[in-house]
Amino acid sequence: MKEIVKFAAILMLVAVIASGALAYVNKITLPRIIAQQDGELTNGLKSVLPGTENGVIEPVEIEGEIVYYKGFADKKKMQPVGFAMLAVNYGYSSDIRTLFGVDTSFVLLATNILSQNETPGLGTKCEEIKYGDSSSWWQEQFIGKFLNELKVDKDGGQIQSITGATITSRAITNSISQSLTWLKEEITENNQYINF
C-alpha cells in the first residue's frame, strides 16, 4: 500500500512540475505567437485586397468584434477597393481559416489560406504552388467569381475540387460562400456604402 501512495505522490509531483513548465513556456511564447498571427493577417489582407498597398485597410467592428475590413487605394479613403473577411470552416481534419477579398460589386479578388492542418499531399494542395507559378493554382480559380458561382464542381459549381480532397475543397468553398453571403447582406441592407 505504501508503494502505491509513493508512486502516486511521485506521479502527482511530476504532473505539477510539467504543467507549471508548460504554463511558463506558454506565457513566454504567447506574445510572439500573437505578433506572428497579426503579421500574417496584415500581409494576408494586402494580398486579398490588391491595390491597397499605398492605401488603408480598416477593420469594421460589430458589438466590439472585428467582423470584416474595408480597403482603400489611398490614405484619404476616397478610392474604395473592396472588402475582406475571414471565413472559417472545418475541413477533413482541421479548421481552415481563409481570408478572402471582394471588390465593391462583391466579385472575388483573391483568397489566402491563413491556416490549415489537412492531410499532407491531399488537403494541403489547397496551398500548393506548382513549379514556375507564383501563387496557388487552386486558390487562383476563385478570382473573378461571383457569389452564385461558389460551389465545387461535384456540387454543380465552377470550383475544381482537389483530387482526393473533396472535403477540404468543399469546406473552403462553402465557408467563403457563406461568409460572402452574410457580408453582402450586411453591407447592402444596412447601407454600409454610406461610409465607404
CA 108 to chain centre: 15
Instruction: Measure the CA–CA gap between 60 and 35, rounded to whole angstroms.
Output: 20
Say what the pLDDT of residue 37 is.
59
Residue showing cell 470552416: 89
CA 35 to chain centre: 16
The Cβ of residue 15 has, within 10 Å, a number of other Cβ atoms equal to 10
Say what the pLDDT of residue 35 is.
62
Q: What is the rounded average pLDDT for all residues in the chain?
A: 86
What is the rounded average pLDDT of the residues 46-60?
91
* 74 against 189, higher pLDDT: 74
Say what the pLDDT of residue 191 is.
62
Cβ atoms of 41 and 57 closer than 8 Å: no
CA 18 to chain centre: 33
Instruction: Measure the CA–CA gap between 152 and 162, rounded to whole angstroms.
Output: 9
What the block records as the C-alpha cell of 90 is 472545418
Say what the pLDDT of residue 34 is.
63
pLDDT of 193 over the 60 cut: no
What is the rounded average pLDDT of the residues 150-178?
91
% of the chain at pLDDT higher than 90: 45
Cβ atoms of 58 and 69 closer than 8 Å: yes
Instruction: Measure the CA–CA gap between 166 and 53, rounded to whole angstroms.
Output: 34
| 94-126: pLDDT as tens digits | 899 999 999 999 999 999 999 888 888 888 888
What the block records as the C-alpha cell of 19 is 504543467
| 20-35: pLDDT as tens digits | 878 777 777 766 666 6
Say what the pLDDT of residue 50 is.
93
pLDDT of 70 over the 90 cut: yes
